[in-house]
Amino acid sequence: MTKRKIALFGGTFDPIHLGHIRVASFTLDKLGAELIIIIPAKRSPLKVDSPIAGDDDRINMIKLATSNVSGFEVSDFELKKEPPSYTLNTIKHFQEKYPDSQLYWLIGADNINDLPAWYKIETLIDECFITTMCRPGFDKPDFSKFAELWGSERTKKLQGNIIETPLVDISSTEVRARLTQGMDVSDMLDSDVADYIKKNNLYMA
């Protein structure tokens, strides 16, 4: 029996932008997954000063940005836990929730060099399919440099799960920087998210 494919997309989403939605939608189609679950993080163990917007605001913005896109859900699993949240623990939670599924953990290419610092990374590579999406400004994903560290099987698995996503040059950092300067962000955000930010005075100087 073919297993259900479920993609999990973690990050700070501070705020969620059109880059997230475009590459994740593309990946969902390419994988033939039935669902993508966006999982905002309470606090990244690697980004000490994030996030800026509150948990409820980030969840609300994710809901607004995905309300018209099919196949997207949002989970507050990591927000409800005491920080830091480790991806492996999140994977275990979703393995229990969806026991007959194949889980994919989506990352942008900017994460690759951080992977050796991730909690129990080798177990994580074994437990799910870490799926890498391309990102402008970052090298084309290449895991061969990790072969000595993690072994050739793991490296092959990572390399086989690279998705050639369209390059979307948007980051939350750039969105926040533009907002603090009162600049236009309409080409970077879903319009409902842009309205929400304005209404709630988020990211203003």
Question: Is 172 a residue that touches ligand ATP (CB under 6 A)?
Answer: yes
Minimum gap (Å) between residue 24 Cβ and ligand ATP: 8
Cβ atoms of 106 and 8 closer than 8 Å: yes
Window 131 to 160, contacts with ligand ATP (CB under 6 A): 133, 135
106 or 154: whose CB is closer to ligand ATP? 106
Residue pointed to by tokens 């440099």: 145
* DSSP state string for 104-162: EEEEEGGGGGGGGGSTTHHHHHHHSEEEEE--TTSPPP--GGGHHHH-HHHHHHHHTTE
Question: From the centroid of its chain, how far is CA 32?
Answer: 18
User: Which residue's CB is nearer to ligand ATP, number 54 or number 151?
Assistant: 54
Distance CA 137, CA 17 (A): 17
Size of the site for ligand ATP (CB under 6 A): 18
- Where are any strands of DSSP class E within the chain? 4-11, 35-40, 72-74, 101-108, 129-133, 162-163
Least distance (Å) between residue 69 CB and ligand ATP: 15
State the minimum distance, in angstroms, from the CB of residue 106 to ligand ATP. Answer: 7
Binding ligand ATP by CB under 6 A: which of 168, 189, 197, 202?
A: 168
3: alpha, beta or left? (left if phi > 0; alpha if psi -120 to 50): beta
- Residue 3 carries which DSSP code? P
Q: Choose which of 6, 8, 11, 124 interacts with ligand ATP (CB under 6 A).
A: 11
Rounded to a whole number of angstroms, the minimum distance from the CB of residue 188 to ligand ATP is 10
Which residues ranging from 63 to 122 are in contact with ligand ATP (CB under 6 A)? 107-108, 110-111
Give the pair of three-digit tokens for residue 134.
């391309």
Residue 13 interacting with ligand ATP (CB under 6 A)? yes
Shortest distance (Å) from residue 21 CB to ligand ATP:
10
The H-or-E segment that residue 18 falls in is helix 18-31
Question: CB-wise, 152 or 173, nearer to ligand ATP?
Answer: 173
Q: Which of 66, 75, 87, 171 binds ligand ATP (CB under 6 A)?
A: 171
Which residues are near ligand ATP by CB under 6 A? 11-14, 19-20, 23, 107-108, 110-111, 133, 135, 168, 170-173
